[in-house]
Chain A
Amino acid sequence: MNISLIIVTYSLVFLLAFSVALFLYLILRRVVIQQQETLFQEKYQKIESEILKLIASPQQGLALEIAQKYKSFPNVLTKVLFDYIEQIKGQATDHLKKIFDYALKEKCLKDIYSRRLIKRLKATHLFVIFSGPSDTPHILKLLNDKPVVKLVAINALSQIPSSRALSYIFQAFENDSVSNARTYMNIMYGLGDKIETHVNEYLKKPLSTEKLALMIELAGTIPLRSLSQDIISFVDHPEKEIRIKVARALGHMRISASLDTLIRLSDDEAWEVGAQAMKSLGKLEDVRAKKVLSKGMFSPFWHVRFNAGHGLANLGEPGLKHLQKVKKQKKDAYASDMANMVLDEVFYSGEA
């Protein structure tokens, strides 16, 4: 028997054995999982019916009873609590939090310090939903964890309505890398006008362009109208991205006092800024913007014409009449086509 034959034979035997084992594993795994799922489902339904009973007619000690009864099934209990906390509002959530406190909190606190990332992550996620102010110290420790856990912790902090918690979130935003900045933005956005003071403070800090742009955008998206003057102060910022965000934020805020600033931005050297300013001017729905928007219809840039056209449509009758004029003129076919399209869209979508 030569060497190649021996190698092939052994490889074949090994691979065949491995394949058969893998096949059996696949089948057994499926059978076991199906059985586990059936058991899980049965237990889920039992817990669910008891929780529904608790929510429908709260009785003293019933939450504790449920917690004690199902403490040994943490996965099922966690799933039921997760599913129901999303569906219900108000006082009923307190019952679920009580069950969590009695049955799962201890395990959760243990898991937060687990060596395994997935355990820490799951435990932290539970805190996002069930945490209270007393849990803040535990969550703060997670701010030094890996980014994925840290962001969940930040999210958990955002559920705690204290100024200290908000300060922690903004500090983490300042110190964290730019790549995570948008995640912070999403968390901060959910906090609404509670963060006004902090946004104001951070607009004045020497942040990187990306972070500053996000702060400006955040102020506009919420919107934090009292910060409009602070936003306007960035109108001459050397970075185009910042000027675009200023124009966008002012559009979201819809403050007529920002009209002059937006008119100025509509003439910006960068067409992207001009296009955003046109869009924001349209949102103001102020007839004083008609002249600038009309000029925008003849811009060499498609986006500027597009936003100017829709801006004019937003002005109502005077804007629509002007669009009719632009449509009929023969000097600039691009402007005419754009006016035609905007009028057509307004007609079909019933925007006017």
Chain B
Amino acid sequence: MGGIIESVFQVVTGIILVYFFLINSLYLLFIILSIFGIYQYKNLSAFVNFKEVFQMPLVKPISIIAPAYNEEMGIIESVKSLLALEYPFYEVIVVNDGSTDHTLEKLKKTFGLKKSKRVFRKTIETKPIKGIYISPSDPKLVVVDKVNGKKADAMNAGLNVSRYPLFCGIDSDSILEKNALLKMARPFLEDPEKTVGAGGIVRLSNGCKVKFGQIVEVGLPRNALARFQILEYLRAFLGGRIGLSMLKSILIISGAFGLFRKDIALQCGGYRTATIGEDMDLVVRIRKYLHESKIPFVFRFIPDPICWTEAPETLKGLANQRNRWHRGLIESLLHSKKMIFNPRYGITGLFAMPFYVIFEMLGPLIEVAGYVIFSVYVLLGQFNQTFAVLFFLLAVVLGILLSLLAILLEEYSARRYPRLMDIIIIVAFGLLENIVYRQYLAVIRAMAFLDIAKGKKEWGETKKKGFSWESQKQ
């Protein structure tokens, strides 16, 4: 019996080691591809004058849709930032998704909103809309007040009310750079037929100074959790997503800022309300639809920091957010499971979906399994102490190397952190994250499987301070 258990343990250990080798090799590959991607982008856009893009006759108007649920802390700064964007034609649709705080009242008071008699096509079914408000002083702003139906439902309501051929979904607590839309609209100008969606790099605004709805000074937050997340965002966007987009395999365009063709999104039925990861779900379903319809397409990723969002600074907030993200990922992948390893879906079926399933979805389970097996070996006293210590150090060093490469990409592409000390602190947190933080997140993400099994659907509260507070603090 003991022999069987030992054999099982050895097989599982072997699988984990192979997995470890594969995942790290892939991440290294993505980072190498990102270096090429950023080099290419930097060279080609070195002399681009975005004022020229602004004056082009063919730029397509954009509807920005910002769902808001209990966002009274930051909503005004966010909307002001959206209204100050540089783009010839756009509208800002804020969807108040049944907030129980003063989100709507604040909007009404600040922008002098009046009830409108606007009519719209109800292309997608949503929870009832209680009223549409417009601002006589700022015709670009439209506020939709509706019964709570969660983010996907709010996005669909915004899609119904929107009037322009491109739409941009953003989180209402995000801050966009002034020329964000110009940068994001470029792929739609260069290849209007094929480009169906575009995403950009999302950065954390914690520790940054916000003035008049814009980031005026980039800095590191004092909160340790936020510092860990800064490094994670650098790795995820600069390392992961640019690399994946170079392989035409991007499946996630962040809900914090993504630009899509409205006709295609509507043909796919808009956002699916049954999932909690509506942003990824939409991209996966668009890919599925376009592969099935044999329509050539491309999703573009702009390696420029264009959107700033606030990271949770409490353990509970972080746990809720990561658990929700992972549940969303699992739901989206399982919903389109027939694409996995299916050659009919091209690179999406043969590489993107399997990668996300094996390394992103199952990753936390395998990591936690590794910790459990290691603990069991320790308890049984049946492990090679030297090997275990060296292997642990190897994992840590590899993690640090990936973080350093991501920081190198940041230095090369944008260099947004002005002080040398910022870089040293980020590197130090890259070292520290291997103790407790990484393990904690793996467990939280693994718990998402249990929550899915239990049928958990709620978002979970992620308390944020809001930009106004942040600005005063600085």
- The chain A residues found within 8 Å of chain B, CB to CB, are 4-5, 8-9, 11-12, 15-16, 18-19, 22-23, 25-27, 29-31, 33-34, 86, 117-118, 121-122, 125, 148, 179, 182-183, 185-186, 189, 217, 221, 302, 334, 337-338, 340-341, 343-345, 348-349
**Considering only CB atoms, which chain B residue lies closest to A4 in the complex?**
B387
Do the beta carbons of A348 and B398 come within 8 Å of each other?
A: no
Sampled A-B contacts (18; CB under 8 Å): A5-B386, A8-B390, A12-B393, A12-B397, A15-B398, A22-B401, A22-B404, A23-B427, A26-B423, A86-B49, A117-B43, A118-B43, A121-B44, A122-B47, A148-B44, A179-B190, A182-B189, A221-B57
Distance in Å from the Cβ of A78 to the closest Cβ of chain B? Answer: 10
**Considering only CB atoms, which chain A residue lies closest to B53 in the complex?**
A186
Distance in Å from the Cβ of B53 to the closest Cβ of chain A? Answer: 9
What chain B residues lie within 8 Å of A8 (beta carbons)? 387, 390-391, 394
Do the beta carbons of B117 and A12 come within 8 Å of each other?
A: no
0/1 string, B369-399, CB within 8 A of A gives 1: 0000000000000001011001101100110
Of B207-215, B243-251, B405-413, the one touching chain A? B405-413
What chain A residues lie within 8 Å of B121 (beta carbons)? 302
Give bound CA distance, A179 to B49, whole Å.
21
Do the beta carbons of B401 and A348 come within 8 Å of each other?
A: no
Distance in Å from the Cβ of B439 to the closest Cβ of chain A? Answer: 20
Do the beta carbons of B58 and A23 come within 8 Å of each other?
A: no
Distance in Å from the Cβ of B469 to the closest Cβ of chain A? Answer: 31
Q: Which of B397, B424, B427 contacts A15 (CB 8 A)?
A: B397
The 5 closest A-B pairs by CB, nearest first: A344-B117, A337-B119, A125-B47, A302-B121, A15-B397
Q: Does B306 contact A (CB under 8 A)?
A: no
What chain A residues lie within 8 Å of B52 (beta carbons)? 186
What chain B residues lie within 8 Å of A25 (beta carbons)? 408
Q: Does B337 contact A (CB under 8 A)?
A: no
**Considering only CB atoms, which chain A residue lies closest to B388 in the complex?**
A8
B residues 1-54 in Cβ contact with A at 8 Å: 43-44, 46-47, 49, 52
Instruction: A344-B118, A345-B134, A348-B116 are known; give 14 further A-B pairs, CB within 8 A.
Output: A4-B387, A5-B387, A8-B387, A12-B397, A15-B394, A15-B398, A19-B404, A26-B407, A26-B427, A86-B49, A118-B46, A121-B44, A182-B189, A348-B114
What chain B residues lie within 8 Å of A33 (beta carbons)? 415
**Considering only CB atoms, which chain B residue lies closest to A125 in the complex?**
B47
Give bound CA distance, A70 to B54, whole Å.
34
Give bound CA distance, A202 to B267, whole Å.
36
Give bound CA distance, A185 to B136, whole Å.
36
B residues 46-95 in Cβ contact with A at 8 Å: 46-47, 49, 52, 56-58
Q: Does B125 contact A (CB under 8 A)?
A: no
What chain B residues lie within 8 Å of A4 (beta carbons)? 387
Give bound CA distance, A303 to B24, whole Å.
51
What chain B residues lie within 8 Å of A19 (beta carbons)? 397, 400-401, 404
Distance in Å from the Cβ of A178 to the closest Cβ of chain B? Answer: 8
Do the beta carbons of B191 and A341 come within 8 Å of each other?
A: no
Do the beta carbons of B117 and A340 come within 8 Å of each other?
A: yes
Do the beta carbons of B56 and A345 come within 8 Å of each other?
A: no
What chain A residues lie within 8 Å of B58 (beta carbons)? 182, 185-186, 217
- The chain B residues found within 8 Å of chain A, CB to CB, are 43-44, 46-47, 49, 52, 56-58, 114, 116-119, 121, 134, 136, 139, 189-192, 384, 386-387, 390-391, 393-394, 397-398, 400-401, 404-405, 407-408, 411, 415, 420, 423-424, 427
Give bound CA distance, A302 to B162, whole Å.
13
Distance in Å from the Cβ of B301 to the closest Cβ of chain A? Answer: 19
What chain A residues lie within 8 Å of B400 (beta carbons)? 19
Query: Which label, helix, strand, loop or mixed, suits the secondary structure of the A interface?
Result: helix
**Considering only CB atoms, which chain B residue lies closest to A152 in the complex?**
B47
Do the beta carbons of A29 and B57 come within 8 Å of each other?
A: no
Across chains A and B, the number of contacting residue pairs, with CB separation under 8 Å, is 104
Do the beta carbons of A30 and B420 come within 8 Å of each other?
A: yes
What chain A residues lie within 8 Å of B411 (beta carbons)? 26, 29-30
Q: Which of B136, B191, B384, B386 contacts A179 (CB 8 A)?
A: B191
What chain B residues lie within 8 Å of A341 (beta carbons)? 116-119
Give bound CA distance, A341 to B121, whole Å.
13
Give bound CA distance, A118 to B191, whole Å.
22
What chain B residues lie within 8 Å of A217 (beta carbons)? 57-58
Given known A27-B423, A179-B191, contact A18–B118 (CB-CB < 8 A): no
Q: Which of A9, A26, A118, A349 contacts B404 (CB 8 A)?
A: A26
Give bound CA distance, A5 to B56, whole Å.
62
Do the beta carbons of A345 and B404 come within 8 Å of each other?
A: no
Do the beta carbons of A22 and B408 come within 8 Å of each other?
A: yes
Do the beta carbons of A348 and B190 come within 8 Å of each other?
A: no
Distance in Å from the Cβ of B90 to the closest Cβ of chain A? Answer: 16
Do the beta carbons of A344 and B116 come within 8 Å of each other?
A: yes
What chain A residues lie within 8 Å of B47 (beta carbons)? 121-122, 125
Give bound CA distance, A348 to B46, whole Å.
43
Give bound CA distance, A140 to B201, whole Å.
38
Distance in Å from the Cβ of B303 to the closest Cβ of chain A? Answer: 16
Do the beta carbons of A30 and B401 come within 8 Å of each other?
A: no
Do the beta carbons of A349 and B139 come within 8 Å of each other?
A: yes
Give bound CA distance, A317 to B444, whole Å.
64
What chain A residues lie within 8 Å of B134 (beta carbons)? 345, 348
Distance in Å from the Cβ of B346 to the closest Cβ of chain A? Answer: 20
**Considering only CB atoms, which chain A residue lies closest to B393 in the complex?**
A12
What chain B residues lie within 8 Å of A9 (beta carbons)? 390
Distance in Å from the Cβ of B128 to the closest Cβ of chain A? Answer: 16
Q: Which of B117, B136, B394, B408 has the most chain A CB atoms closer than 10 A to its own CB? A: B117
What chain B residues lie within 8 Å of A183 (beta carbons)? 190
Give bound CA distance, A300 to B189, whole Å.
32
Give bound CA distance, A132 to B325, whole Å.
56
**Considering only CB atoms, which chain B residue lies closest to A1 in the complex?**
B386
Distance in Å from the Cβ of B350 to the closest Cβ of chain A? Answer: 26
Do the beta carbons of A189 and B56 come within 8 Å of each other?
A: yes
Do the beta carbons of A186 and B118 come within 8 Å of each other?
A: no
Distance in Å from the Cβ of B121 to the closest Cβ of chain A? Answer: 5
What chain A residues lie within 8 Å of B404 (beta carbons)? 19, 22-23, 26
**Considering only CB atoms, which chain A residue lies closest to B139 in the complex?**
A349
Do the beta carbons of B408 and A26 come within 8 Å of each other?
A: yes
What chain A residues lie within 8 Å of B114 (beta carbons)? 348
Give bound CA distance, A343 to B116, whole Å.
10
Do the beta carbons of A185 and B387 come within 8 Å of each other?
A: no
Give bound CA distance, A312 to B413, whole Å.
51
What chain B residues lie within 8 Å of A117 (beta carbons)? 43
What chain A residues lie within 8 Å of B57 (beta carbons)? 185-186, 189, 217, 221
Do the beta carbons of A12 and B394 come within 8 Å of each other?
A: yes
Do the beta carbons of B420 and A31 come within 8 Å of each other?
A: yes
